[in-house]
Amino acid sequence: MLNTIWFVVLAFMMAGYAVLDGFDLGVGTLHLVIGRDTRERARLIDAIGPVWNGNEVWLLAVGGSLVAAFPHVYAASFSGFYLALMIVLWLLLLRGLGIEFRHQIDHDMWKHAWDVAFSLSSGLLALLFGVALGNVLRGVPLDETGEFQGTFALLLNPFALLGGILSVTVLSMHGAAWIALKTDAEIQRRARRWGSALWWAVVFLLAAMVAASFLVRPDFPRNFGTHPWLIVFPLVTIAAAGAVKYCQRRDDDLRVFLASAATIAGVIACVAAGLYPTLLPALAGSPHPGLNIYNAASPEGSLRIALGVYLFGMTLVLIYLINIYRVWRGKVSATYH
Amino acid sequence: MPDAVVAARQQFAFTIMFHYLFPVLTIGLGVLIAVLKTIELRTGKLEYGAAARFWAKLFAITFATGVVTGIPMEFQFGTNWARFSHFAGPVVGQTLFMEGVFAFFAESSFLGVFLFGEKRVSRRLHWLSSVLIAAGAVASAYFIVATNAWMQNPVAYRTVDGRAELTSLWGLLSNPYLRWQFPHVVSGAMVVGSSVMAGIGAFYLLAHRHETFGRVFVRVGVIAGVLFSSTSLFPTGSLHGENVARFQPTKMAAMEGLFETQERAGIAIIGMPDTERKQLMDAIVVPGVLSWLVYGDFRGRVIGLNDIPQDEHPPIEIVYYAYHIMVGLGTMFIALFALSAFLLWRGRLFESRGVLWLLMLAMPFPYIANHAGWIVAEVGRQPWVVYGLQRTSMATSQNVTAGMTYFTLFGFMGLYALVGILYLLLFFRIVTRGPEAD
C-alpha cells in the first residue's frame, strides 16, 4: 500500500514537473520564432522570469522523492543514462544562465547570444526528456543486479525518438499557450497561431505514440483490462486535447493553457497507469525482471517517514505556488529582463 | 584505488567546490540584505533600501550561478555514486527532498518578488520577502549540512538488507554532530558575506565613489564581520572541534598531525607532517591544548595516527594543511575585523586608508577558509563516504567507467570556467556601476 502511494506520488510529481517546467521549456523552444527581435524576446523571458526557477524546483523534488522512496531506480537509471543525464545537466545550466544573465548587459550581441543558448537548450531539453520517457516506457537491458549501461546507440532508438519529438511538440504547444496568456498584440497573435498549428502535430504524434506503444510493449494495456476504471485517464487526456482546440477557436487563452496542462498530465497518468507497478521495465531478454515499486523501494520505515515529510512539504509548495502565480498574474508589462 | 573511484572523487570534489563558491556568499549576503531592509523599514532612511537593491543585484547573479551549478550535485549522487544512493538514499533522500521543498523553493520564489516586485507588492511584503530569502538560504544550508552530518556520524538508522533505513526523522535532524557543524557553516558563510560587503564598501571609499554607500557597507560589513569571525572560533568552531574529536578521532589526529598517542597532546601552530617517518617536521607545538580542547583536561589522552589502522587513515597532509589554513585565516579575520571595529567605534575607520586597503584585499580569503574547512570535513572522513558504514571505494556506480567520468569532468571544467568568467565579469560590472546606477 505504502509502495503504491509512493508510485502515485512520483507520477504526480512527474506530471507537476512536466506541466510547470514544461511551459517554460516550451516558451524557450519557440523563443526565436515567436520573438522576432531582442525586445520581443525580452518580453518572452519576462513571461517566465519570476516563475521558471520555482518550476525547476519540481525537478529537484522529483529527484529527492525518487532517491528517498526508490533509491535503486534512482541509482540504476541515473548511472545507466549517465552521459545523457550529464548533457541534460549542462543544458539546464546553459538555460538557467540564459534567463538570468541575459538582461545583465544591455547590448544586442550579448542578448542575442543568450537568446540562442536559451532557445537551443530549452528545445534539446524537451527532446531529451521525451527520449528518456520513451526509453523508460520501452524498457532498458537490466543486468542481474538491476543496472545497465546506456549507450547512445541504445537510447536513441526510433521509439524513444518519437517520444522526444512528441515531447518537443506538446511542450511547444503548452509554451505557446502560456505566451498567449501573458502577452498581447502581435506576439499574442503569433503565439495563438503557433499553438493552433502545433495542436494538429500533437494529435497526430500522440496517436502515433499510442500505436507504437502497443507494438513495443504488448503488455501495456494489461492494467487497463484488470482495472477498467483506469480508462478514465486516456478519456480525460482525449477530452483535454479536444478542449485545447475548442478553446483555441474561441481565443480563450487561460482555458487553452489549462487544457494543455491537463493533456500533459493526462499523458503522464496514462503512462503511469500502464507501467504500474513497474518503475523501470527491463527490455525483453534481460536477466532482470525490471525494477518495480517493491524490489526498488526504500525500507518501510523510510517510506513512511518520507511520506509525512512529503505531504507537509507539498502543502507548503502549493501555498507558495498559488501566491507566486497570484503576484505575477496578468500580462507582463514593463521589461525587467 | 580503482581509477573509476578516483575519477568520481575528482569530479565530485571539483563540482562541489566550484558550486559552494556561490551559496557561501548568498547565505551571508541574504541575511545582510534582510538587515538592510529591516533598517530601512524601521528608520525610513531610503539609502538603506537603495543599498539593499544594489546587493540584491549581486545576490541575484550569485544565486543563479549557485542554482545552475547546484542541480548537478543532487544528480551526481545517482550518476556517479549509485552504490551510495542505493545504500544511503533511504536516509539522505529525506533531507535532500526537504532542502528542495522547504528551503530552495521559498528562496527562489521570493527572490523573484524581491527583485522585480517592489512596485507590485506592499513595502511590508517586500521586506518580508527579503527575510524569507535569508531564511530560505539558511534553511537550505541546514538540510544540506544535516545530510553531510549523517555521512559524518550516522544516526537514527538501522541496516535492512544492506541498506540504511531511517528510524527517526527527528534523530536525523538533531544529529549531535550537526549541533555545532551547522552554526559553524553558517558563521563561516556570514564572514564571507560581511567581508564582501565591507570590502566593496572599502573600495568605494578608497576610490572616492559612492561614498555614502561605501560608509554604509563598511559599517554593516565590519560589525557583522567582527561578530561572525568571533563566533566562527568560539563557540561554533571550538565546540564543533570537540565533536570531531569525539566522533572521528582519526580526523582529529590528522588535523593536528598527531602521530603518537599521548597525554598532554598539543596543538601544532606550524609544522609539516612527514607521513614516512611519522612525525611533524619543524613543529611549534603548544603542549596540552589539544587534550584540553577535547577533554577539558590538559592531561587527557588523545589517540594518535600510529594507533589507528593504516587503512583507516585519510590523506593526512591535505587534512592537516586545510585545517591549519582555515584556523590561520580565521584568526587573521578576527584581528582585522576587531581592528576595523575599534576604528569604526572611534570614528576613524573611514579615513584609515591602510585598514580600508586590507578590508578590500581580504575579500577572497574567507572563501578560502570556508573551502578549507569543508576539505577537512570531507577529505578527513576518508576512506569512508558514510563514516564507519560505507567505504568511498564501495560507493561509486559500477557501470560508469573512469573514461566516462573524465569525459564529463573535463566537460564540467570547461563549462564552469566559462561560468566563472561570466560571473566575475558581471560581478565587477555591477560593482563598478555602483549603487546609484538604475
Q: In this predicted model, what pLDDT tens digit does every residue of B376-416 receive, in sequence order?
A: 999 999 999 999 999 999 999 998 999 999 999 999 999 99
For residues B329-351, give the mean pLDDT.
Answer: 97
> In sequence order, what DSSP letters do the residues of A1-64 get, joined into one string?
-HHHHHHHHHHHHHHHHHHHHHHHHHHHHHHHHH--SHHHHHHHHHHHTTTHHHHHHHHHHHHH
User: What integer pLDDT is reported at residue A336 of this predicted model?
Assistant: 53
CA dist A125 and A25 (Å) reads 8
Count the alpha carbons within 13 Å of B59 in the hemisphere toward its beta carbon: 28
CA dist A124 and B220 (Å) reads 45
> To the nearest whole number, what is the mean pLDDT of chain A?
92
Distance in Å, alpha carbon of B281 to nearest chain A alpha carbon: 44
Model confidence band, residue A51 (pLDDT cutoffs 50, 70, 90): confident
Least confident of A126-130, A316-320, A330-334, B128-132: A330-334
pLDDT digits (tens, 9 = 90+) for A103-120: 999 999 999 999 999 999
> To the nearest whole number, what is the mean pLDDT of chain B?
93
For residues A285-296, give the mean pLDDT.
Answer: 90
pLDDT digits (tens, 9 = 90+) for B88-101: 999 999 999 899 88
For residues B48-65, give the mean pLDDT.
Answer: 94
Q: Which of A65, A97, A333 should we substitute to test contact with B (largest number of B Cβ atoms within 10 Å)?
A: A97
Indicate if the pLDDT at residue B437 is higher than 80: no
User: What integer pLDDT is reported at residue B295 of this predicted model?
Assistant: 83
Indicate if the pLDDT at residue B1 is higher than 80: no
CA-to-CA separations, A328 to A322, B110, B120, in angstroms, rounded: 10, 12, 9
Cβ of B264 under 8 Å from any chain A Cβ?
no
- Chain A residue closest in CA terms to B72: A89
Cβ of B413 under 8 Å from any chain A Cβ?
no
User: What integer pLDDT is reported at residue B65 of this predicted model?
Assistant: 95
CB A245 within 8 A of CB A199: yes
- Is B171 buried (19+), middle (13-18) or exposed (0-12) by CB count in 10 A? middle
Torsion angle of the four alpha carbons B186, B188, B189, B195, in this order, in degrees rounded to the nearest 10: 140
Indicate if the pLDDT at residue A334 is higher than 60: no
Can you state the angle between helices B316-345 and B176-206, rounded to 10 degrees? 50
CB B28 within 8 A of CB B193: yes
* Complex ipTM: 0.91
pTM of the model as a whole: 0.94
The 3-class SS string of A68-115 reads HHCHHHHHHHHHHCHHHHHHHHHHHHHHHHHHHHHHHCCCHHHHHHHH
User: What integer pLDDT is reported at residue A60 of this predicted model?
Assistant: 87
Distance in Å, alpha carbon of A174 to nearest chain B alpha carbon: 22
Cβ atoms within 10 Å of A67's Cβ, excluding its own: 31
Interface contact flag, B79 A86, Cβ < 8 Å: yes
Cβ of B79 under 8 Å from any chain A Cβ?
yes
pLDDT digits (tens, 9 = 90+) for A230-284: 999 999 999 999 999 999 999 999 999 999 999 999 999 999 999 999 999 998 8
Sketch the domain layout of chain A as residue ranges.
2-327
- Is B140 buried (19+), middle (13-18) or exposed (0-12) by CB count in 10 A? buried
Pairs from B51-58 (Cβ < 8 Å, separation ≥ 24): B51/B213, B51/B216, B51/B217, B51/B435, B52/B130, B53/B118, B53/B435, B54/B213, B54/B430, B54/B434, B54/B435, B55/B29, B55/B197, B56/B114, B56/B115, B56/B130, B57/B430, B58/B29, B58/B427, B58/B430, B58/B431
Residue B42, amino acid:
R
User: What integer pLDDT is reported at residue B438 of this predicted model?
Assistant: 58
